[in-house]
Amino acid sequence: MYVSGLSKNVATGLRVGYVVAPLECVPKIERAIRVTTWNTPGVMTAIACGWLEDGTVDRLEAEKRADASMRQTIAASALGRLKRVAHPASYFVWLPMPGEVRADRIAAALMKERISVSTAEPFCTAVQVPHALRLALGSVDAETLRDALGRVREIVEAQIDI
């Protein structure tokens, strides 16, 4: 089964989801949908279907991939030698903290600089939470992103012996 939606990869306000499933599963899935929600507004469904048919979804996804790729390039440059884990078309970067550096302390120091990041804790499913930061790349213009990531690098590097 594949469950997804269009709000993340196409347009935030286009809150339309979909399920691709084997035919024998469809009746149970339909019942579950009816029990948990009534429907998607007709206008939303019409927009989603139209955009899927006319190529708008493909175009918007390609534009987002190109934008995310540009932002990943900025991140690679701005973060320098810091280890990072990322996908080339993703709007975020995982930044594992080196050595004994604590992610919560780095996040607090960045907050004082008006730079908001997440630690790994809200995303972790393991018992032991790694010291890492999740850096979102998509919410600011490119120059602000470059400056903020440069400041992230400076604050992390100040805590380690690079």
Please check whether residue 145 is in contact with residue 137, taking contact to mean a CB–CB distance below 8 angstroms.
yes
Q: Output the pTM of the full model.
A: 0.81
Per-residue confidence of the chain (162 residues) as pLDDT tens digits? 999 888 888 888 888 888 999 999 999 998 988 888 767 788 988 999 999 999 999 999 999 999 999 999 999 999 999 999 999 999 999 999 988 889 999 999 999 999 999 999 998 888 888 999 999 999 899 999 999 999 999 999 998 764
Q: How far is CA 135 from the centre of its chain?
A: 9
Sheet holding 132-136, edge to edge: 92-96, 132-136, 118-119
For the chain, helix (H) and strand (E) counts, in that order, are 5, 5
List residues bridging with 18 in a β-sheet.
4
Q: Report the distance separating Cα 104 and Cα 36, nearest Å.
A: 37
Question: Residue ranges per domain, the chain?
Answer: 2-54, 69-158
Bridge-partner residues for 94, per DSSP?
Answer: 85, 134
Class for domain 69-158, per CATH?
alpha beta
pLDDT at 161: 62
Rg, Å, the chain Cα set:
20
pLDDT of residue 78: 97
Query: What pLDDT was estimated at residue 87?
Result: 96
pLDDT of residue 25: 95
CB 49 within 8 A of CB 14: no
Alpha carbons 155 and 149: distance in angstroms, whole number? 10
Q: What is the pLDDT of residue 28?
A: 94
